[in-house]
Amino acid sequence: MYYEIGAIIVGLIFLVWSADKFVIGAAATARHLGMSPLLVGLTIVAIGTSAPEMFVSAIASLDGVGNLAIGNAIGSNITNIALVLGITALVAPIPLQKSLLKKELPLLMMITLLAGVVLIDLELNLVDALILIAALVFALFLMFQQSSESGESVMDEDEAAEIESTSTAKATFWLIAGLAVLMASSKALVWGASGVATAFGVSDLVIGLTIVAIGTSLPELAASVASALKGHHDIAIGNVIGSNIFNLLAVMPIPGILAVTAVEPMALYRDYMVMAGATFLLLLFFVICYRKGTLGRLPGILLTAGYFGYLSTLFLAYQA
């Protein structure tokens, strides 16, 4: 099993590295072709935050382990809210962007409910995938409209500067090289994860919910904690909400596009419910902490404890 564990570690490292290079290459190429910075930010860069999950889901679906892909999408959302925001709030209270309460958080709640409707028949097929993709187009339209009206940048300054300074030749190279490494590292990760699942007698769904979801969420965790230590973490919640929206609308449809996927019942009755509960809890914390203006350490403790409680539940379920 050493080869499988090695494949997971190497796959995750190169998956994260290549996703960043691929997004920069794709975004810079689009800019050189005349796409506006706003559109680049709202499409390529925004969806690119879920690039690791998207490629892992595609490879998993093609390899016949579609539930690993579903677990990856749901698990990443749980990890983003409970672990990433929880630990970030423990490091330092997170400033709340009050505009999120009016638009992005309600939008995430509606998308979460839509995902439940799609999963309720325990099957992901082409119709389900098209419903989620149509919702993605609608969400992008709303975000474009909001950004156009506010005039706010959808990318941070360093990211925008890197995209603008990347030459056409370099952008093309990173686009192609990043894509190739993304595919290879996704294949290695899925192979290793499937091998570990078989060796320990657990389902592909659980591996997707844990090892793969945590691994693909590590960059967000590292970036959020680093920003918190520097006092520049006011966009942490916005990034998590955006990432969760794209996980449900751009990652989850992939198994349905590539093949009709039978969904494990526990993915709906346990894991989806935990994801929906975490999303609702975030909304509740937002409302409670609205006047104070920050998400403090007590919510951070509750979110983090809830996440490790959820992992313990998954572990105990396979020890019984």
* Residues in Cβ contact with 222 at an 8 Å cutoff, skipping those fewer than 6 apart: none
CA distances from residue 122 to 75, 79, 155 in whole angstroms, order as listed: 17, 23, 37
Q: Which of 118, 99, 76 is nearest to 208 (CA)?
A: 76
The half-sphere exposure of 290 on its side-chain side, counting CA atoms within 13 A, is: 10
What band does 1 get if pLDDT is binned at 50, 70 and 90? confident
pLDDT digits (tens, 9 = 90+) for 41-92: 667 777 777 788 888 888 988 888 889 999 999 999 999 999 999 998 998 8
- What confidence tens digit (pLDDT) does each residue in 173-183 have? 988 998 899 89
pLDDT score, position 158: 66
C-alpha to C-alpha distances, 76 to 24, 117, 206, 214, 300, nearest whole angstrom: 22, 19, 12, 7, 18
Q: What is the pLDDT of residues 272-312, one digit of tens each?
A: 999 999 999 999 998 898 888 888 899 999 999 999 999 99
Residues 197 and 210: their CA atoms lie apart, in Å, by: 11
**What does the block give as tokens for 129?**
């995938």
Q: How is residue 188 written in tokens?
A: 């290695």
Mean pLDDT of 242-265: 92
- Higher per-residue confidence, 137 vs 40: 137
What DSSP state is assigned to residue 264? P
Domains detected in the chain: 2-317 (1.20.1420.30)
CA distances from residue 293 to 102, 286, 297 in whole angstroms, order as listed:
15, 9, 13
Top-confidence residue, 35 or 268: 268
Q: Is 145 exposed, middle or buried (0-12, 13-18, 19+ CB in 10 A)?
A: exposed
Place of tokens 């039978």: 262
Q: Two tokens at 104?
A: 């992005």
Give the residue from 38, 262, 267, 249 showing the smallest Cα distance to 163: 38
Q: For residue 273, how far is the Cα from the chain centroid?
A: 17
